[in-house]
Homo-oligomer: A and B are copies of this chain.
Amino acid sequence: MKIGIGQFAPIWGNKLRNLEQIRQLLLPHPGVQLWILPELGTTGYQFTSRQQVLQLAEAFPGGQSAEILLQISRETQSAIVIGVIESLAQKIYNSAAVFDNGAYRGAYRKIHLFFEEKRWFHAGEQTPPIYEIDGIRVGIMICFDWIFPEIARSLALRGTQVLAHPANLVLPYCQDAMITRSLENRIFSATANRIGSESINPAAPLTFTGKSQITDPTGKRLGQLTPDREDVLIVDIDPSEALEKSITPLNDLFEDRKPDLYRND
Contacts and interface: CB of A to CB of B under 8 A. Distances in A.
A111 B260 CA distance: 11
A203 interface: no
Interface string A165-192: 0000000010011011101100000000
A144 B181 CA distance: 15
A249 B115 contact: yes
A52 B51 CA distance: 72
A158 interface: yes
A177 B173 contact: no
Contacts of A153: 149-150, 262, 264
B151 A115 contact: no
Interface stretch (A3-11, A225-233, A236-244, A250-258): A250-258
Contacts of A184: 147-149, 177
Interface residues of A, number: 47
A228 to B, nearest CB: 23
A177 B181 CA distance: 9
Contacts of A126: 261
Interface string A100-140: 00000000000110111011000111111000000000000
A127 B157 contact: no
Quickly give the copy total for this chain. Answer: 2
A251 B115 contact: yes
A167 to B, nearest CB: 16
Contacts of A149: 149-150, 153, 184
Contacts of A118: 250
Contacts of A114: 248, 251
Nearest to A260: B127
Given A114-B248, A250-B116, A127 B173 contact: no
Contacts of A265: 157-158
A259 interface: yes
Contact of A173 (B148, B183, B258, B263): B183
Interface of A: 111-112, 114-116, 118-119, 123-128, 144, 147-151, 153-154, 157-158, 173, 176-177, 179-181, 183-184, 219, 247-251, 253, 256-259, 261-265
Given A124-B261, A148-B184, 8 more contacts: A111-B258, A114-B251, A115-B248, A115-B249, A149-B149, A149-B184, A154-B263, A180-B180
